[in-house]
Structure 1
Amino acid sequence: MSASTILLIFMWIFAIAFIIILFKDVKAHKQELDKAKLGFNSIISLIANFFDTLGIGSYAIATSAWKFNKSISDDLIPGTLNVAFAIPICVEATITMTRISVDPLTLVLMIGSAILGSILGAKIISRMDIMKIRVIMGIALLIVAAVTLCKINSIGPFGMVGTARGLSGAMLVIGVIGNFILGILMTAGIGLYAPCMALILLLGMSTDVAFPIMMGSCAFLCPACGITFIKEGKYQRGATIPMLIAGSIGVLIAGFIVTSLPLTLLTYLVCIVMVICAALFFHDAKKQKK
Structure 2
Amino acid sequence: MQKILIIAIIAINFLFIFVLVRDLLKHRHEIMEEPASPIWTPLSQIVIYFLSTFGISDFAISTALYPKAKWVTMKKLPGTLNTQCVIPVFVMSLAYISTITVGVKTLLVAIICQVIGAYLGPRFVVKLPEHIIRVFVIIGLLVATGLILAGKFGWIPSNGTATELYGWKLWTTGLLMFVYGALNNIGIGSYALTMATVYAMGMNPVAAFPIMMGGCTFSVSIGSMQFIKLNDYSRKITMFSVFGIIGVLIAVYLVKSLNTSVIQWIVIVVLLYSAISLYLDSRKSTEAV
Report sequence identity in percent: 31
Following the alignment from structure 1 to structure 2, what is the Cα–Cα distance between the partners of residues 224 and 32? 24
Matches of 1:249 and 1:94, distance apart in 2: 14
Amino acid at match of 1:65: L
For the pair 1:55 / 2:55, whether they are aligned, the reply is: yes
TM-score, normalising length from structure 2?
0.94
CA contact (8 A) 1:121 1:184 kept: yes
Could you tell me how far 1:40 is from its partner in structure 2? 1.4
| Corresponding residue to 1:170 among 163, 168, 171 | 168
C-alpha separation in 2, matches of 1:251 and 1:160: 25
Question: Normalised by the size of structure 1, how large is the TM-score?
Answer: 0.93
1:44 and 1:74 mapped to 2: Cα distance?
A: 19
Q: Which amino acid aligns with 1:148?
A: I
- Equivalenced residue count is 285
Is the counterpart of residue 260 in structure 1 residue 232 in structure 2? no
Deviations 1:103-158 (A, max 9, x none): 11111110111111112222211222222211211111111111111012111xx2
Cα distance change on mapping 1:280 and 1:258 into 2, 3 Å: same
Q: Determine helix, strand or coil for the equivalent of 2:76.
A: helix
Q: 1:204 aligns with which of 202, 205, 208?
A: 202
- Residue 119 of structure 2 corresponds to which residue in structure 1? 119
The equivalent residue for 1:192 is: 190
For the structure 1 residues 99 and 43, does the alpha-carbon distance in structure 2 shift closer, same or farther, using more than 3 Å as the test? Answer: farther
2:277 aligned with 1:280, yes or no? yes
The 5 A counterparts of 1:30-41 are: 30-33=28-31, 34-36=33-35, 37-41=37-41
Structure 2 partner of 1:218: 216
**C-alpha separation in 2, matches of 1:126 and 1:41:** 24
Partner of 2:24: 26
Match of 1:93 in 2: 93
CA change 1:124–1:259 in 2 (3 A) is farther
In structure 2, which of residues 228, 231, 244 is the aligned counterpart of residue 230 of structure 1?
A: 228
Using the TM superposition, name which of 217-226 and 43-52 deviates more.
Answer: 43-52
**Whole-Å separation in 1 of the counterparts to 2:34 and 2:183:** 29
Could you tell me whether the CA contact under 8 Å between 1:54 and 1:260 is conserved in 2? no
Letter in 1 for 2:110: M
Whether 1:11 aligns to 2:9 is yes
Q: Distance in 2 between matches of 1:76 and 1:53?
A: 25
RMSD: 1.5
Q: 1:159 Cα shift?
A: 2.9
* Deviation per residue, 1:202-254 (Å, 9 max, x gap): 111111110111111110011110011101111111231122x1112211111
Give the conservation status (yes or no) of the 8 Å contact 1:100–1:208: no
**193-202 or 160-169: bigger deviation:** 160-169
- C-alpha separation in 1, matches of 2:257 and 2:280: 37
1:133 lines up with 2:125 in the alignment: no
d(CA) in 1 for partners of 2:47 and 2:40?
Answer: 11
What are the superposed Cα offsets for residues 52-71 of structure 1, whole Å, 9 maximum, x if unpaired?
A: 11112211111111122222
- The 1:57/1:259 distance shift into structure 2, 3 A limit, reads farther
